[in-house]
């Protein structure tokens, strides 16, 4: 393995995310940041808020994972049951592929919607905004075969269909018009096309049709099992265990090239990873902090499709908290992360700004500090971070934002291209 390959591998390791974020947090705590100070005395109150909200939402503490599948439950509609009915009669592997197809394309379309956008679901008559709206809209598009090029097999995603998606098609899917604007529409469409290109370029993983659900085969089947074609794969013995970090690694290996951030390390796309002088580390990747927020959100969202297919996912807490505007907004609104400039919210910020990089690194590090406090408050010492996020910190970020600002907007506006945030 070359030095560059080893460095890229390091930047794709969730342990690196954790270590580099902790390094930046130590830098801020020591007074080295021109952007932030920390007030850790308020962490206990934040943990109590998260715990109280978790108990109110899940009184029996049967807390599901933080996952795109929660958004498919919006409005109390059993959309998973609807999909399962359409997939009845397929093998459990084929069902797993379809669920992964849906999850992947829906998560990649899930960057912030903006406060003014809504989606009206015809079947339920309900209207949804933000992440729930994006989730329901993408679910309905999947059920309508909008991501499949084969009318005879609508419940799938394939490269040919993605390559044809443009902003006009997404505008139709998301009901976008002058009075219902969605931020980052062009960015989302371009991301879908780059996803199609990545799927088509890796037939050894995604078959000749470029179906993302074949990640299931890659991660669970023994190697060297021959595949005849995508309709009739050669049966291969399943691995019934997979590590969460391996799911993330497979996603980053397959799709790091689709991110539009332009972040390259020695010419290799590294996606949601950024240079920062306090990131620390050793070797060629030193001074870079990875987050891989959307890829980790996708990894969390794939836990259930693997488990529903009988595959146990281990090492859940190897993944990190998600550095996005709800978790990060909670920490600013609660006074744990304190911007030095009181006019910090005056202008939208770019993901590449040191201010945003530090805010996101602090969010990851502080979620790790909050997790044991939340477990103690709930009396649930084994609660995975994925459930704390769901219970949890993300909902608390939305809650405190609604208390502080009309419309519940986050404390920081990010100039989004429809991908990182």
Distance CA 74, CA 407 (A): 19
User: Per the structure, how many domains does the chain have?
Assistant: 1
* First-to-final CA distance of the chain: 33
Residue 421 domain-assigned (yes or no): no
The answer to pTM > 0.85 is yes
The reported pLDDT for the residue numbered 114 is 78
The reported pLDDT for the residue numbered 331 is 98
| Contact partners, residue 284, CB within 8 Å, separation at least 6 | 3, 4, 6, 7, 266
Residue 417 domain-assigned (yes or no): no
Q: What does the pLDDT look like over 174-193, one tens digit per residue? A: 999 999 999 888 989 999 99
- Within 10 angstroms of residue 86's Cβ, the number of other Cβ atoms is 12
Residue 420 domain-assigned (yes or no): no
Q: Which of 349, 356, 292 is nearest to 328 (CA)?
A: 356
Instruction: Over range 30-58, report the average pLDDT.
Output: 98
Decide: helix, strand or coil at residue 26: helix
In DSSP terms, 290 is beta-bridged to 273
Q: How far is CA 228 from the centre of its chain?
A: 33
In 162-307, DSSP assigns E strands to 241-243, 264-265, 268-269, 273-275, 288-290
- Residue 273: give the domain boundaries: 3-408
Q: Which of 106, 114, 36 is nearest to 414 (CA)?
A: 114
The reported pLDDT for the residue numbered 138 is 98
| Mean pLDDT value across the chain | 93
- Least confident residue range of 11-25, 66-80, 110-124, 383-397: 110-124
The reported pLDDT for the residue numbered 187 is 87
User: From its phi and psi, is residue 287 left (phi > 0), alpha (psi between -120 and 50) or beta?
Assistant: left
The reported pLDDT for the residue numbered 163 is 98
Residue 386 domain-assigned (yes or no): yes
Does residue 420 have a pLDDT over 80? no
Residue 334 domain-assigned (yes or no): yes
The reported pLDDT for the residue numbered 224 is 41
Residue 232 domain-assigned (yes or no): yes
Q: What does the pLDDT look like over 86-130, one tens digit per residue? A: 999 999 999 999 999 999 999 999 877 777 899 999 999 999 998
Distance CA 225, CA 235 (A): 8
Does residue 41 have a pLDDT over 80? yes
The reported pLDDT for the residue numbered 52 is 98
Residue 112 domain-assigned (yes or no): yes
Q: What does the pLDDT look like over 188-236, one tens digit per residue? A: 999 999 999 999 999 999 999 999 999 999 999 855 444 444 444 555 5
pLDDT band at 332 (very low <50, low <70, confident <90, very high): very high
Q: What does the pLDDT look like over 62-84, one tens digit per residue? A: 999 999 999 999 999 999 999 99
Residue 225 domain-assigned (yes or no): yes
Decide: helix, strand or coil at residue 48: helix
């Amino acid at each position: 393995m070359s030095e560059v390959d080893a460095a890229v591998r390091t930047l794709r390791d969730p342990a690196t995310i954790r270590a580099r974020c902790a390094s930046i947090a130590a830098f801020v705590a020591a007074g080295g940041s021109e952007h932030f100070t920390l007030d850790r005395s308020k962490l206990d109150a934040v943990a109590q808020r998260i715990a109280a909200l978790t108990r109110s939402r899940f009184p029996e503490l049967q807390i599901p994972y933080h996952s795109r599948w929660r958004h498919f439950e919006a409005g109390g509609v059993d959309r998973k049951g609807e999909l399962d009915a359409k997939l009845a009669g397929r093998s459990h592997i084929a069902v797993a592929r379809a669920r992964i197809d849906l999850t992947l394309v829906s998560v990649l379309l899930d960057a912030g919607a903006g406060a003014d956008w809504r989606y009206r679901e015809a079947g339920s008559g309900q209207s949804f905004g933000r992440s729930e709206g994006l989730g329901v809209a993408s679910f309905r598009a999947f059920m309508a075969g909008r991501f499949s090029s084969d009318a005879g097999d609508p419940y799938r995603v394939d490269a040919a269909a993605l390559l044809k998606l443009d902003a006009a098609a997404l505008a139709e899917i998301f009901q976008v018009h002058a009075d219902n604007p969605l931020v980052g529409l062009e960015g989302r469409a371009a991301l879908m096309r780059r996803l199609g290109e990545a799927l088509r370029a890796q037939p050894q993983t995604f078959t000749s049709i470029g179906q993302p659900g074949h990640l299931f085969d890659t991660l669970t089947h023994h190697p060297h099992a021959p595949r005849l074609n995508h309709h009739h794969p050669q049966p291969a013995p399943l691995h019934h265990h997979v590590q969460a970090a391996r799911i993330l690694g497979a996603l980053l290996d397959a799709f790091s090239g689709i991110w539009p951030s332009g972040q390259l390390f020695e010419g290799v796309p590294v996606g949601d990873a950024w240079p920062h002088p306090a990131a620390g580390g050793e070797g060629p990747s030193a001074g870079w902090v990875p987050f891989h927020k959307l890829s980790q959100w996708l990894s969390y969202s794939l836990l259930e499709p693997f488990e529903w297919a009988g595959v146990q996912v281990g090492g859940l807490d190897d993944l990190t908290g998600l550095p996005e505007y709800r978790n990060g907004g909670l920490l600013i609104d609660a006074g744990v992360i304190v911007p030095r400039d009181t006019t910090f919210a005056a202008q939208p910020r770019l993901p590449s700004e040191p201010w945003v990089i530090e805010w996101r690194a602090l969010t990851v590090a502080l979620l790790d500090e909050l997790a044991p406090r939340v477990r103690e408050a709930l009396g649930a010492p084994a609660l995975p971070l994925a459930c704390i996020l769901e219970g949890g910190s993300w909902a608390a970020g939305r809650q405190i934002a609604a208390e502080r600002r009309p419309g519940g907007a986050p404390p920081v506006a990010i100039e989004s291209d429809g991908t990182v945030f």
